[in-house]
Amino acid sequence: MFFATGDGKVFEPYPSSTQRSQPCRNFEFSEILIATENFDQSLVIGSGGFGKVYKGNIIYGSSLLVVAIKRLDSVSNQGATEFWAEVEMLSMLCHCNLVSLIGYCNHEKEMILVYEYMPNGTLDDHLHKLSSPLSWLQRLNICIGAGRGLHYLHTGTGIEYGVIHRDVKSSNILLHESWAAKIADFGLSKVGPTNQPSTYVNTHVKGSFGYFDPNYYATGKLTRKSDVYAFGVVLLEVLCRKRATDRSLDEGLVTWVQDSIKEGNLKQIIDSDIKGEISQKCLKEYVKITERCLHNSPKQRPAMAKVLFSLESVLALQVKFNNSLQSSHRTIFSRMVNLLPFSYNEENSGISNSLSFVLTYPFFARISMKIWKCYILTLKKDYQRLTILTLVVRT
């Protein structure tokens, strides 16, 4: 498959052993206008350094697809270089944790990219904009999904060359309707060496503030470990629910967290919405791998394969903890039912079923245990009062 760039050059994407079921399509501008209803502002679902993103419907093969359409803004600092880099990169890559490029449109000064639509938005949306917080398990699974996407890019699995993303951040992690995480925005990506003596690419420093690898920023040497550092910042965002460039922090998120850990205030930095969900062992391991990702020396940072293995281990620890918690809640529930002043039969089985459901899930259990204990104590006291009153009346 060949592409013609804006300056008339023709290139073929890097060979790939993993081919798409359908090729990246060159859309007519008229198709884009129909899909976006002439770029109706009500269809805008986001914006970034490249430009606005519209939700639209477009014909692809024999199907009508819901897609995300990103249009280059005339005042953007990005342009043809980033546009063709995105087309090139996503045309040679295929992985379930990378966003899929449906096609593109290069018409006069218009440069437009068409992607698969991600109905759950970005990780950034759920951490910093929406009022419904993600659970700890959801956050872990999202991190693992994004980690798998980065690991695929770095290792060159299924492709001839490794890729350095260069702009890993929470707003570039999109969420499918199934909550699967997908890495997006490859406009700044660089083809990186995989099995070569040189482990870095000399390039102008580009990326997003708050996620910059300090070594890359100082030397201009871009490596896969630069992505690892940025991913470490994302891991902090997920734990603390603070932006990488949080204005309430004078020193920035990374320094704030590192200082808090040194001062023994680890628990103080955890997002209050998930503080009661994380096991201590899980938290310890999560922070350990995050700190390694953020090491000042690139050589001391782990490869994404190691990061991914550690995160999967953390998830396993958390699931094990949750299961043991559920088991203990069931035991407590059985004891609580025995304390009730009425026998267990079909007439009151609904109460025990409600208790069973509530105590099965840690979130409800934390809230409900105190409530049900108070309820049972009240019942016991009322039962005792009723018994005494009955005795008095009889005498």
- Taking the C-alpha atoms of residue 5 and residue 73, their distance in angstroms, rounded to an integer, is 18
Outline where the chain has alpha helix (H). 29-36, 80-92, 123-128, 136-155, 214-219, 224-240, 253-262, 280-293, 304-339, 349-360, 362-394
| Among candidate residues 190, 118, 127, the one with its CA nearest the CA of residue 153 | 190
| Among candidate residues 95, 71, 99, 87, the one with its CA nearest the CA of residue 187 | 87
Task: Please identify which residue in the block is written with the tokens 């880099």.
Answer: 85
Token digits of residue 140: 């872990």
Q: Would you say 306 is a known binding-site residue? A: no
Confirm if 328 and 171 have CB atoms less than 8 A apart.
no
DSSP state letter for 170: G
Token digits of residue 350: 């609904």
- Taking the C-alpha atoms of residue 363 and residue 357, their distance in angstroms, rounded to an integer, is 11
Which is catalytic among the residues 167, 185, 213, 271?
167
Our answer to whether residue 40 is catalytic in this structure is: no
- Is residue 75 within a helix (H) or strand (E), and if so which, with residue range? none
DSSP state letter for 23: P
> Across the beta sheet with 52-60, what order do the strands follow?
25-26, 101-107, 110-116, 63-71, 52-60, 44-47
- Taking the C-alpha atoms of residue 168 and residue 217, their distance in angstroms, rounded to an integer, is 15
Q: Which residues does the annotation place in the binding site for ATP? A: 70
Catalytic positions: 167
